[in-house]
Structure 1
């Protein structure tokens, strides 16, 4: 069968498809050690909480109402209004319900935003999405309708004590011109756990405003919820910012709910696109989290349950990795947030794509670093030396997975 240009692009196998296939296959295989995908942790306290909350919503009929009715293309009104009020009170942001639009997951939001702000324009010009710091989220890479949708830049690398390192935006190299339609960065960053500093965010905002383009901040792991962020930084939003959030990392990935906080022009455009692409966003997730806001429990649980859980897990995983791989060429990006560790195996004689295959053959699933260097425009050796590891599995699986990773890394350094 012959596919259209659109079909040829989006029907092909991609990095994000591989990641989700591995995630699905691993869930079906009880012996697999899932250190690759982005499935959030099954935090017992949160699982119990959602079970009880859903039972309550079922008793009142609110759950059935959410499942048996369409919302409008902007999303569930009650949730949007509650969230706008919460953000006004928490941060003093000048927003209303008109500044929020929901989508069927963050991935859908980025597909719409990227193709709204970049690609081919009516005057025949082409614009790109600028990723100021590579590596970046794997899911961005194939989201553009136009080829070469992204441009990115190598980071500055700072070597830290205790076998850690950190990426920073290299503003000396960064170029913003008429070919850029928007700047986009995740904070905390998937895959590295990096958190842009307040100064970096202000600098990016100034560049965006100077060139009349929006700054997109992917806040899927950030504040005020799910608050998987371990640095003392300030949440950021203004009328030129498109802040993207999600219910997934609260522990609700199955409800597929993304949240976009932006100017009314952007949220109206997204609502109109929702109508065409999916009629309306899903209703169940917003109904559940609206009740959490009403009860005053959303931020409390994020701060006292979710954040401490991930912080402790990340620190423990770092210790286990450093004990298992004492090679001085091995470093870990400083874990500042999100649910991943970014491992740097300097001078690795094989690519991490090959390492991924070797580990997969032994039942350990990680994600090779090559997929995350989107729009860089050159084959940077550093990109073949890194891999992303999810640290949320139970302790026994984590330790067994890390032991296998250590064995394969040692073999690779010794034998190639």
Structure 2
């Protein structure tokens, strides 16, 4: 194959640093894996059974592009109950990542600017590149709080989208109502699209979740079942937003993903009635345990999701992670998510035994240099 066949857009997208760590894990013997960004518990049995029944009953063809009617009706009813906005319509995407791609490709023209908050979820930068846009980073170090004045100063006549994530991957930061309201009102004032990535909304440990939809009815929400119900492989996401935006996203979905996997949508319908309170409480306990074990590290955020974004006590984040991997501990260097190389990400979506082993290595590494 000629190298000339590769498009310029692909040359501007790097392979995922997280995937590199996953690949490395496959070559190691009994690694202490605190790198993975998905729940460690299996998909609950009622959801698995609904998936099985859907397959056995012949629900294996394409569904409607927008999703199966029973699931749409259920999600729409929940959205209407929460927000009461007549123009807000929901549909089913092929995972949250699919929803993000649809939103950005629907909204962003070549050369448009997309504001993201550093540290950001790894896909934001590359999906913006795919859409032809340019990422503008707002520094949130050291406490990962959003400074509305910084956002306002970054807005130009090319700013098209603000991409917001709370609770955050990788920091676990949960934005306060004041931050959310300020961001929502700023987007409205400047007629900028606001995309709210709410995939971790179930995992808020100290404060109630707050969506910018409460302050900005034009907000486009991306959500799904992957993290809340451990359905990462099922690829069932949710999007809701203004009807005219949703119509354009559906048009694009017809010619890309076609639909979310049909039997998985019936599983998602069953998931709507599965109480995940015990799992959330379990992760709250794991968060508390890891914060206690790592109290000699500098850690901010950590109010939600299942991540800690930890400042390396010596060297760069990459240098620290290399030493951790040499001791059989898999964590993710912070520069995978950031323009800076000062931190590393720990996932506490793991068993108690794995967390104990990982915490011991991290405590040993505190003074390794």
Same fold (TM over 0.5): yes
CA distance in 1, matches of 2:49, 2:89: 31
* Cα-to-partner distance string for 1:378-412 (whole Å, 9 max, x where unaligned): xxxxx22211100121122212122223333422x
CA deviation map 1:158-180 (0-9, x unaligned): xxxxxxxx321122322222111
Give the one of 299, 303, 307 matched to 1:332.
Answer: 299
Deviation at 1:181, TM superposition (A): 0.5
**In 1, Cα distance between the equivalents of 2:209 and 2:321?**
34
Q: Paired residue for 2:288?
A: 315
Aligned to 2:37: 38
Residue by residue over 1:351-383, the C-alpha shift from the partner in whole angstroms, topping out at 9 and shown as x without a partner, is 111222222233211111112225xxxxxxxx2
* In 2, Cα distance between equivalents of 1:251 and 1:360: 26
Task: Confirm whether residue 397 of structure 1 aligns to residue 362 of structure 2.
Answer: no
Please name the residue that 1:244 is paired with.
222
The reply to whether residue 18 of structure 1 matches residue 10 of structure 2 is no
After TM superposition, the score normalised by the length of structure 2 is: 0.89
Q: Is 1:232 matched up with 2:208?
A: yes
1:118 matched to which residue of 2?
A: 108
Whether the aligned pair in 2 keeps the contact of 1:101 and 1:270 (CA below 8 Å) is: no
**Aligned-partner Cα distance in 2 for 1:336–1:280:** 34
TM-score, normalised by the number of residues in structure 1? 0.80
Q: Is the 2:67–2:91 contact (alpha carbons within 8 Å) kept by the matching residues of 1? A: yes
Distance 1:235-1:35 versus aligned 2 partners, 3 A rule? same
Aligned partner of 1:170 in structure 2 is 147
- 1:112/1:270 contact within 8 Å kept: yes
Inter-CA distance 87–27: structure 2 relative to 1 (3 Å threshold): farther
What's the CA shift for 1:345? 2.8
Q: 1:29, CA displacement in angstroms?
A: 5.1
Gapped regions of structure 2 (runs ≥ 5): none
CA pair 31-68 structure 1, distance change in 2 beyond 3 A = same
Pairs aligned (count): 363
Q: Which residue of 2 aligns with 1:341?
A: 308
Q: Distance in 2 between matches of 1:333 and 1:62?
A: 43
> Unaligned regions of 5+ residues in structure 1, if any?
121-125, 158-165, 375-382
Question: 1:317–1:391: 8 Å Cα contact kept in structure 2?
Answer: yes
Q: Is the 8 A contact 1:368 1:387 kept in 2?
A: yes
Partner of 1:141: 125
Counterparts of residues 73-112 of structure 1 (less than 5 Å): 73-89=65-81, 91-95=82-86, 99-112=89-102
